[in-house]
Structures are given as C-alpha cells and as structure tokens.
Amino acid sequence: MATQNSWNNQVTEANITFNGGTFSAGTDATSGAINIGTGAAARTTTIGNTTGASATNINYGTGDITIASGTGTTMTLSDEGYIQKPLQPCFADTTGNALNVTGDGTVYTYVNFNNAYDPNGDFNHTTGTFTAPVSGLYSFDASVYLYDMPANRTCRLNIVESGGDQASDRFFNTNAGDLNMECSATFQLDAADTVTINIQVSGGAKQVDTSCENFGGSLIN
C-alpha cells in the first residue's frame, strides 16, 4: 500500500538508503507505532554495526523489551531490570523414597522423578536423564537423603555425564541415622550429551533407602 511522508512523497516498494547525516523517526511527542521489518516475508533486519567506535542504544520507559522467535519469547527485559529467558534449558526435580537400593556397593541411579519443573522438556523424569539440547556450559546441583543408615558405611554421590566426566561427594559415616549429601558440577556438554545422578553405599547389606531432594541444572553459557 502506498504511503506519504511529510513532504507528500509517495513511497510504495523501494530500497531507501541514507548516506551520512542523522536519520530520525518518531522523535516527536506523538504516540504512534514505528514498525520496521514487520511484514510476513523472510528478511534480515540489521541495526548498527561492529566497526570502530559504533554504539547502539536501546532506551525504554515503563514497558518491557521482548525478543521473540518463531518458537516464542526468548528474552524479556523489564523496566525494573529483570531479565527472563523463558526458553533457556533448565530443570529442577525431586523423587520419592526408593527402598533397599544400595548398601552392598550397588550403584543406584535415581529415577521416577516428580516432574516438578522442566519447561522445555529436556529432562526425562522416568529415567532421571537430562539431555543437552544445544552445546554449551551447563551447571548442575544434586541433594539426596539416605535414611536409617547403618554406621560405618562409605557413601558416594555422583553427577555423571555421558562423555565420561563426573563430580562426586564422598563420605564415610561413623554414626547410624539419616544422612544428607550434596554435590555440584559444571560440564561442557555437546548437544545430545546426557547427565544423571547416582548413589553408591558400600560396607554392608543392600538395605539403604534414599530419595533425591533436588536435582537441577541449566545452561549458563
């Protein structure tokens, strides 16, 4: 559709180039919208450049800045300064109590999680497996309980990634009772690499009960 500018010049379909000087749009006090590249055609919209001392300033008042893709909103910057990334890979989950799963040196991998938080579906709650959707640096934390532990057992909590790396919290208990163990890890993962957590208690019979109080992770870079 043809439009007219303030000089009554009609513009239909054209490539418009400004060389030098300052180009301003919407600098008056009116509240009309300014649309750039909003048509349905596939196109590349470039603002600014990476040469010399170039700078790009984005200013906004009491509204938000939203960045979206065909998948949905990828980032929101609020006027209070909060930054949210709704599609960022992340999860956090817990399990119920698993009975008599270790104690004799058996390595027990935590399974059957409760589907607490996993917005992008990267964590298989049945198998307890996180699968990296993209290559990057990921951070993980795990916290588990061991119930009614006999004394003098060797306990090891492991966060394990499929490439062979793992982080461990190793503990030797001298007194009977409940035991909390925690572990954290940062892994450089390739897309489709997996991460799980397991517990190994040695020194007696297979009679140790356990639950995962938290297993969570997120892409950090």
Q: What is the dihedral of CA 152, 159, 185, 191, to 10 degrees?
A: 170
**Integer Cα distance of 196 and 93 in angstroms:** 12
Of the CA atoms within 13 Å of residue 123, those in its CB half-sphere come to 26
Task: Give the Å distances, CA to CA, from 112 to 109, 129, 211.
Answer: 10, 10, 10
Tokens of 17: 């180039």
For 169, phi and psi rounded to 5 degrees? -115, 115
pLDDT at 214: 98
**Integer Cα distance of 125 and 137 in angstroms:** 22
- According to CATH, the topology of domain 90-219 is Jelly Rolls (2.60.120)
Q: Which residue has the tokens 């749009």?
A: 25
Rg for the chain, CA atoms, rounded: 27
**Could you report how far apart the first and last alpha carbons of the chain are, in Å?**
44
pLDDT at 1: 46
pLDDT at 21: 79
Give mean pLDDT in consecutive 10-residue pieces for the chain, a chain of 221 residues: 52 68 83 85 87 87 87 85 85 98 97 95 98 98 95 96 93 93 97 98 96 98 93
Q: What is the pLDDT of residues 101-155, one digit of tens each?
A: 999 999 999 999 999 999 999 999 999 999 999 999 999 999 999 998 999 999 9
Is 0.85 surpassed by the pTM of this model? no
pLDDT at 155: 97
Closest of 95, 97, 127, 100 to residue 114, by C-alpha? 95
- Residue ranges of the domains in the chain? 90-219
